[in-house]
Structure 1
Amino acid sequence: MEGEAAEPPPGDGDPQEVPKKGENGSDPKDPPGCPQPDRDILDQGEGIPLKHSNTLTNRQRGNQISALPATLDTLSIHQLAAQGELSQLREHLQKGENLVNKPDERGFTPLLWAAAFGEIETVRYLLEWGADPHVLAKERESALSLASMGGYTDIVTMLLERNVDINIYDWNGGTPLLYAVRGNHVKCVEALLARGADLTTEADSGYTPMDLAVALGHKKVQQVMENHILKLFQKKELE
């Protein structure tokens, strides 16, 4: 299918230019051993359709005829969840049992795709329909980690209200807090800390969330964590 790639909507962190990948797929600015999310999760690749671009097509310009995009009725339930196509998603869910938690080849359910792309209304609808927020994909990716990676604080809060594991770790030891710190998502970090995210948890590389914030120069996130630690000490003294 031809189309123009659509970037995931920004999270709540400060706007940043997306750096080019290094030879191993990591960002050049990342410290050695920094937990690396699976970049393909955030790229709509083979199985996930591209959102329609607002850019004029060749046909609209009066040039050669361009290929028609796939129609919504040809998309899978996972593709519809990633794009937030609620009306078509409802139709799919009504076709059979257990579709709401059906995994794709990577173990991603519709809820995981919706969380990864910040589709809050889709996440809410899937949870109401019975989507399991505790499901892990093949490399232990969780809806909470994916939402934290993108800085989607409202989705993070919604999932935490469903009592998901706030310190869940994936294949390289990355936790929701570590991914929120790495993405410089200040509000998301605040939300996770407020619900008891563990500041001492280390990635496989040995980095704690504070280590990561310092190494990446994320001063606002660092200040949030320092304030949180200070409050914990003050609370302990009063007990």
Structure 2
Amino acid sequence: MNHAEQINQLFQAAQSGDLANLHLLLASHPELTNTENQDGLTPLGYASHYGQVEVVRLLLEHGADVNALSHSKISFIPSNTALHAALAGERSPEVIQLLVEYGASTSILDSDGQYALHSAAFHTDQIELIEMLLQHGADPNALNSAGQTALEISLERGNTSTASCLRAAVTAHQQ
């Protein structure tokens, strides 16, 4: 099997949750852990996007860089971290918790100029995810590259639960 085929197998396993195949690939080719595919995406970001918690755990245990910024070549996918990918994808609380436990930074901008909290405010009305990000250092007053706060984004999107949570966080942050 050539290198490109190994990478394709790795990403298929990451998407589908095929732990057995992933174990075999990483045991014989540990360098694949942080290798990008032809689209510039990382295995950790890919698994995070698809909500594959056990794959995410395995990749992290094999040394995947939790804060690696992908180099996306897909026009509608920004270059981002696994945390951004998780928030834009399945939004699995278990995956997001695992990423922040392994040190995922909430203060990295993706190529669209969004912090993780801004991505969450855009994509979800799940307070649990917003609170998790805030507990792990997300700044509720941070401005994205367009000069917006996560609260402003949540209001624009009609994510009322997220907006209420962020209002409380902004107030608490000011005291």
TM over 0.5: yes
Q: Deviations over 1:152-186 (max 9, x none)?
A: 22212211122222121111101211111111232
Per the alignment, in what secondary structure is the counterpart of residue 188 of structure 1?
helix
Compute the RMSD of aligned alpha carbons. 2.0
Per the alignment, in what secondary structure is the counterpart of residue 41 of structure 2?
coil
Question: 1:6-21 counterparts in 2 under 5 A?
Answer: none
Per the alignment, in what secondary structure is the counterpart of residue 226 of structure 1?
helix
Is 1:161–2:161 an aligned residue pair?
no
- Which residue number corresponds to residue 227 of structure 1? 168
- Which residue number corresponds to residue 88 of structure 1? 21
Question: 1:98-109 counterparts in 2 under 5 A?
Answer: 98-109=31-42
Pick aligned residue for 2:84 from 132, 145, 153? 145
The answer to whether the Cα contact below 8 Å between 1:107 and 1:136 also exists between their aligned partners in 2 is no
Q: What TM-score does the superposition give when structure 2 sets the normalisation length?
A: 0.84
The answer to whether the Cα contact below 8 Å between 2:7 and 2:37 also exists between their aligned partners in 1 is no
TM-superposed CA distance for 1:96, in Å, is: 2.1
Q: Which structure has the larger Rg over C-alpha atoms? A: 1
The answer to whether the Cα contact below 8 Å between 1:115 and 1:146 also exists between their aligned partners in 2 is yes
Q: Which amino acid aligns with 1:135?
A: A
Q: Which has the higher contact order (CA 8 A, sep 6+)?
A: 1
Q: Which amino acid aligns with 1:146?
A: A
Question: 1:2-151 counterparts in 2 under 5 A?
Answer: 76-139=9-72, 140-150=79-89, 151=91
The answer to whether the Cα contact below 8 Å between 1:166 and 1:176 also exists between their aligned partners in 2 is yes
Is 1:201–2:142 an aligned residue pair?
yes
* Whole-angstrom distance in 1 between the partners of 2:105 and 2:7: 35
Per the alignment, in what secondary structure is the counterpart of residue 98 of structure 1?
helix
Q: Structure 2: which 5+ residue stretches go unaligned?
A: 1-5, 73-78
TM-superposed CA distance for 1:205, in Å, is: 2.6
Q: Which amino acid aligns with 1:103?
A: E
Per the alignment, in what secondary structure is the counterpart of residue 232 of structure 1?
helix
Select the structure that is richer in helix. 2
* Whole-angstrom distance in 1 between the partners of 2:16 and 2:160: 33
- Which residue number corresponds to residue 20 of structure 1? none
* Whole-angstrom distance in 1 between the partners of 2:7 and 2:132: 38
Q: Deviations over 1:21-57 (max 9, x none)?
A: xxxxxxxxxxxxxxxxxxxxxxxxxxxxxxxxxxxxx
Q: Deviations over 1:104-140 (max 9, x none)?
A: 1233221111001000011011111221212111153
* Whole-angstrom distance in 2 between the partners of 1:157 and 1:113: 16
Q: Which amino acid aligns with 1:175?
A: Y
- Which residue number corresponds to residue 117 of structure 2? 177
% of aligned pairs identical?
Answer: 27
Q: Structure 1: which 5+ residue stretches go unaligned?
A: 1-72
* Whole-angstrom distance in 2 between the partners of 1:215 and 1:204: 16
* Whole-angstrom distance in 2 between the partners of 1:78 and 1:88: 11
* Whole-angstrom distance in 1 between the partners of 2:154 and 2:139: 15
Per the alignment, in what secondary structure is the counterpart of residue 76 of structure 1?
helix
